[in-house]
A and B are shown apart, each in its own frame.
Chain A
Amino acid sequence: MIVAAAFCPAPPLLATPLNGAVPVLPELRAACREVAAELLAAEPELVVVTGSGENTTRLADAGPAGLASFAPGAGLSPGGLPSSVLIGCWLLEEIGYLGGRMLMSVACAEPVASCARIGAGLADEARRVALLAMGDGSACRGPKAPGYFDQRSLAFDAEVERAVRAGDLEALLRVDPELASSLLATGRPAWQVLAGALAGVPVETHVRYCDDPFGVAYLAASVRLRRP
């Protein structure tokens, strides 16, 4: 049974060892920690960390998150997880979670129905399952953004924000994979896994961060279930 879920941004800069001397965006990190802590407050037996990757596959959990591929020369451990899942693992470790976790990569091009189906199957993975969906909105929100400015990014991210704030998870299943991909919106597969996992379940959300300080749309939100 799914007992809680969360949307969490997955920029590498969330991991403080990658920041250099001065922590970047401490307010984003604080919001993500709160979201993760609320997820754990539901006392899950298993936390599923999901995010986009090259393939759709369950990943071997090789222990502590290795960040060296982002920052050679910084004395970090190597690691081969997809970025989104890797940052999710780092976040859980950062708040001291040592319990069971399952790591799930979902291909950037995975069709919507397939994402939803993957999500629907997660409830059976343990008696109490929490789902941490790692990923971001568009990366095209200004001329300095990683993907430069794309006018379509504004409406795209606005609809995702509306759906999350309203707890309208079904709307996330209408996010177009091709548009998401062209806007470098890495969160699409994970959002749709989450929507599939909680299909038909009334939820309320608490958005703790929604901004685009580097031209990438970051959204951190807790999802609480309103089951009787």
Chain B
Amino acid sequence: MRAMLSADRSGTLRLREHLFGPERLLVMAIVNRTPDSFYDAGLTWDEPAAMERVHQVVAAGADIVDIGGVPAAPGLDVDVAEEVRRTASFIAAVRSAYPGVAISADTWRHEVAREACAAGADLINDSWGGWDAKLPDVAAEFGAGLVCAHAGSQRPRTRPFRVRYEDVVQDVLDKTLRLAARAVQAGVDPASVIIDAAHDFGKNTWHSLEVTRRLGEITASGWPVLVSVSRKDFIGEALDLPIHDRLSATLATTSVCAWQGARVFRAHDVVQTRHVLDMVSAIRGDRPPARAVRGMT
């Protein structure tokens, strides 16, 4: 069953016209059009600042730019109209500036996803576990990709409260594979479906560590796996570090996930993440050394 539902046999990931072979480890750069996200706290709230951030992350090697208008944490309500206002025209501007870069819309709402795809988004990044059942229809309509994430049973923008799992990895597999099947049934190209264990979403720190430790069981499903771990709470709690001191631990986690087969890495720190992923590719033998002179002269 899993094999039948997996991305195409070549392992190519297709995000509209953007094709990525199975050996490619992709950096998805976070660009928040929010005044209150947990790490950047409004740094790219203004459109010129956001576009400057896009210029920087593309130059640093981002493969995908992930544009979001609503923070994951609970807070002031952002309705559909406001979310569209924050993201759609900006997506169009990025599309125009960088035709060769894949654009992801970070949203759980189908109305927003539709506007984002019409503006040029190639991927709908839903971190909230398919809360909006119409989201796959939008992805299918536009030939876009869809992220199928595990958020436990959390409503969007809620925090985990005393969550527990008999086996969190099995729950991740059960829910994400069900969402992936739903997406394919709705008409999404199987080569455009990504699954995401969604660290910290509906999970405590122990759960996110377990998901990281056993990520290979999730990548073994055959679907391309996205990991979004950048500076998250489970990293902070693992080492008792504040947000601004979590880069090294984020990169360690990224490396462990890449080694176990994850393919897409959502990141704040693009330069460093690019280096980590390229190094993992080099160690694996998927990427020749940039220069191999040592001992050869």
Contacts and interface: CB of A to CB of B under 8 A. Distances in A.
Interface of A: 11-12, 18, 20, 69-74, 78, 80, 83, 139, 143, 146-148, 184, 186
Contacts of B207: 72
A83 B210 CA distance: 20
B42 to A, nearest CB: 16
B159 A20 contact: no
A184 B161 CA distance: 9
Contact of B206 (A73, A78, A139): A73
Interface string B196-229: 0000000011110110010000000000000000
Interface residues of B, number: 20
Contact of B159 (A11, A18, A70, A146): A146
Contacts of B206: 18, 70-74
Contacts of A78: 166
Contact of B204 (A70, A139, A147, A148): A70
Contact of A73 (B75, B165, B210, B237): B210
Interface in B143-178: 158-162, 164-168
Specify which of B159, B164, B207 lies most central, judged by the most chain A CB atoms within 10 Å of its CB: B164
Nearest to B161: A146
B210 A69 contact: no
Contact of A72 (B74, B160, B167): B167
A69 B161 contact: no
Nearest to B159: A146
- State the main secondary structure of chain A at its contact with B: loop
Contacts of B237: 20
A12 B207 CA distance: 14
Contacts of B158: 147
Given A70-B206, A73-B209, A12 B159 contact: no
Interface string B64-93: 000000000011000000000000000000
Given A20-B237, A139-B161, A69 B166 contact: yes
A73 B206 CA distance: 7
Which 3 pairs of residues, A with B, have the shortest CB-CB distance? A69-B164, A148-B74, A71-B206
B216 to A, nearest CB: 15
Contacts of A71: 204, 206
